[in-house]
Amino acid sequence: MKIGLLLILFIALGLGSCISSSSNENTEYYSIAIDTTALWVDDEAIVEYSLENKSGMKVVILNYGGIISQIWTKDKLGELQDVVLGFNDYSSYLKSHPFFGALVGRYGNRIAKGIFSIEDSTYTLFTNNGVNHLHGGKRGFDKVIWDVKPLYEDNALELSYVSVDGEEGYPGNLSVTIIYRLTDENELEIEYQATTDKPTIVNLTQHSYFNLGVDTDILQHQIMINADEYLPVDETLIPTGELASVQESPFDFRAFKEIGQDIDEMDDIQIARGGGYDHCYVLNKDKELSLAAEVREPESGRVMKVWTTEPGVQFYTGNFLNGSLEAKWGGNYGKRAGFCLETQHFPNSPNQPNFPQVTLLPNDRYYTKTVYSFSVKGD
């Protein structure tokens, strides 16, 4: 630990390592802890922030990449466990990994051949996923140091970053603000905001891998996705432009079923392309903040619901995890060790005029909100 930096941080804040507010038994209890690490990026220290609520749920976030490194929630026996994939050794986040827990931008998901146009201007992005651009490029938002401001009365963190004109090929100076908020109802709220000084594209998301059973694969998890349609993809995982019905297909999760129920069938008929689910679902929207998905893990009793203002959610089943990365709980992360529910606009939207559009203009404000809520069966 860099003790000098830690002391300077505390003196600057006028605070100790754990800040909490609680006036009586009826008020909400909040706790924010701040700690530094021995790691540095671009002459800036990586700092760990912990949000905790009155029930003991805890979320740990790094200023590097806005990474959610831990989410501790209770099972049906009341035992807390960490339910997101990642690393015990934070230095591993500085090496190649599949976006564990990261904030993704400027554009979450894929852009075909790394090319898009706004009006009469064409822009070329770094292609880091075969022939395509993925999750912001070579050095996206997952690899930068964010400025972090603790919001103590709200049990929240405000992360900010300015992506300069031309960064990774994107136009415009983009000012981004992300708020992570942990409520006493065991909800992790994430608000995404951005403004630009030049027309650009924006599609921000969060890339946590969840495993509600912790040290098993995720095939026995039961999931419901609130979508009648999904986006078929080509061999490079770019949407074809079609909105296809999930009915009578392995993509139908309108009623709860196990993740593994049809996943082998997908491989057999080669519609998975990526070796499993890695597809964007077109959400059924009944209001601005709508239920996107619900996941149940029978053994632990944990339940996770996802609410969002976004039109889509990418459901990914850890198809490319290959056992090369060491797991928090011992062993290695193999295929199907975790799943992602990435709320977002659709992949390759800038090149698909029939998709909801992602262009942000000067004087406009980008705003979306996603909520991950945790409970146990019977709550």
CATH number of the domain at 116, please: 2.70.98.10
Banded pLDDT at 81 (limits 50, 70, 90): very high
Residue 25 inside a domain? The answer is: no
- Helix (H/G/I), strand (E/B), else coil: 263: helix
Residue 190 inside a domain? The answer is: no
The residue-averaged pLDDT of 80-86 equals 98
Residue 179 inside a domain? The answer is: no
Give residue-wise pLDDT tens across range 156-197: 999 999 999 999 999 999 999 999 999 999 999 999 999 999
- How many angstroms separate the CA atoms of 187 and 169, rounded? 35
Q: State the chain's mean pLDDT as an integer.
A: 90
* Res 23 pLDDT > 60: no
Strand 44-52 and strand 58-62: the pairing is: antiparallel
> What are the φ/ψ torsions at residue 9 (nearest 5 degrees)?
-60, -45
pLDDT of residue 273: 61
- How many angstroms separate the CA atoms of 97 and 364, rounded? 34
Residue 22 inside a domain? The answer is: no
* Res 19 pLDDT > 60: no
- Which of the residue ranges 13-27, 86-100, 240-254, 323-337 would you say has the lowest mean pLDDT? 13-27
> What are the φ/ψ torsions at residue 371 (nearest 5 degrees)?
-130, 125
Tokens, residue 165: 């004109």
Residue 281 inside a domain? The answer is: yes
Domain count, the chain: 1
The residue-averaged pLDDT of 329-349 equals 96
* Catalytic residue from among 97, 133, 135, 207: 207
Contact of 198 with 67, CB cutoff 8 Å = no
Residue 277 inside a domain? The answer is: yes
Banded pLDDT at 1 (limits 50, 70, 90): very low
Tokens, residue 20: 């909490």
What pTM did the predictor assign? 0.91
pLDDT of residue 9: 35
Residue 104 inside a domain? The answer is: no
**Angle 90-94-96 from CA coordinates, rounded to 5°:** 115
Residue 259 inside a domain? The answer is: yes
- How many angstroms separate the CA atoms of 212 and 210, rounded? 6
* Res 2 pLDDT > 60: no
- Answer yes or no: 221 catalytic: no
Locate all alpha helices (DSSP H) within the chain, ordered by sequence.
3-13, 263-269
**272 is in which domain, residue-wise?**
111-132+199-362
The residue-averaged pLDDT of 36-63 equals 95
